[in-house]
Every structure is written in C-alpha cells, then in structure tokens.
Amino acid sequence: MTALYLPLFALFALALAASGGMWLAGAWLGPRHPTPEKLLPYECGNDTDGARRPVGAKFYLVAILFVVFDLEGAMILPWAALFRGLGWVGLVSMAVFTGALLVALVYAWKKGALEWQD
C-alpha cells in the first residue's frame, strides 16, 4: 500500500522543497526598499478608507460574471473530454447548462456590468 502512494508523497515533498526554496531565496536575495507609500494598506486597487465604507453594486456584478465564467470553464472542459461517451443526455444537459449561463450573461449585460468605464 505504501508503494502505491510513494510517488504522490515524493511529488508533495518536491513541491514543498521547491516552493520553500523559492520563498527563502526571495526573502534573502530580494530587494528591500520600503517607503511610507508602499507600507500603506492596499486592497483590490483601492485605498482602504475604512471598513464601513459601502461597496458599489458594480463590484457584485463583476463577482457574478466571474462566477458565471468560472463555472463555465469548470464544467465545459470535463464535458468536452467525455463528450462521445455521454450521448444525447449529455448533449441536452450541457445545452440546458449553457442556456442558463447565457441568461446570466444577458442579465449582466443589461445591468451594465460589461461597461468598464464609469
């Protein structure tokens, strides 16, 4: 049983060693030029003016778009890999799924989420 998982553990050890080595190399060899502006809190392209500031509706529309297209990629790629074996049921179910994604895209389009300039 151990021989079955040995390559997996070796891969994890190699990934841990590589990531740890890169982190240590960056920490030791990387330039350090902190300025007061670089040390300010910064999040999502906006300065942090306080935790109680309301978030605009545009943020939520962009989040909906991200979820829609992320789900599309996560579902369509495996479906395409198994397309021949799924038959008509798979084709119809993916057509329904793609239709629901299209409805979400039209909704976001009508709400102006694809207009990036204010």
**Residue ranges making up the domain that contains 81:** 55-118
Mean local confidence (pLDDT), 11-37 = 93
CA distances to 19, 25, 42, 52, 101 from 32, rounded to whole Å, are 20, 13, 18, 33, 46
Query: Bigger pLDDT: 64 or 75?
Result: 75
Residue 98 lies in a domain: yes
Residue 28 lies in a domain: no
CA dist., res. 116 & res. 77, Å (int): 28
For residue 79, which phi and psi values (nearest 5 degrees)? -60, -40
pLDDT of residue 65: 81
The angle, 0 to 180 degrees and rounded to 10, between the axes of the packed helices 57-81 and 83-110 is 170
pLDDT of residue 20: 97
> Of all residues in the chain, what percent are helix, strand and coil, respectively (each to 5)?
70, 5, 30
Give the pLDDT confidence of 53-72 residue by residue, as tens digits. Answer: 677 777 777 787 888 788 78
**CATH code, domain with 61:** 1.20.58.1610
Residue 101 lies in a domain: yes
pLDDT of residue 42: 67
- Percentage of residues of the chain with pLDDT beyond 90: 28
Strands 42-43 and 46-47: antiparallel
pLDDT at 99 over 60: yes
pLDDT of residue 14: 98
Work out the pLDDT band at 21, boundaries 50, 70, 90: very high
pLDDT at 27 over 70: yes
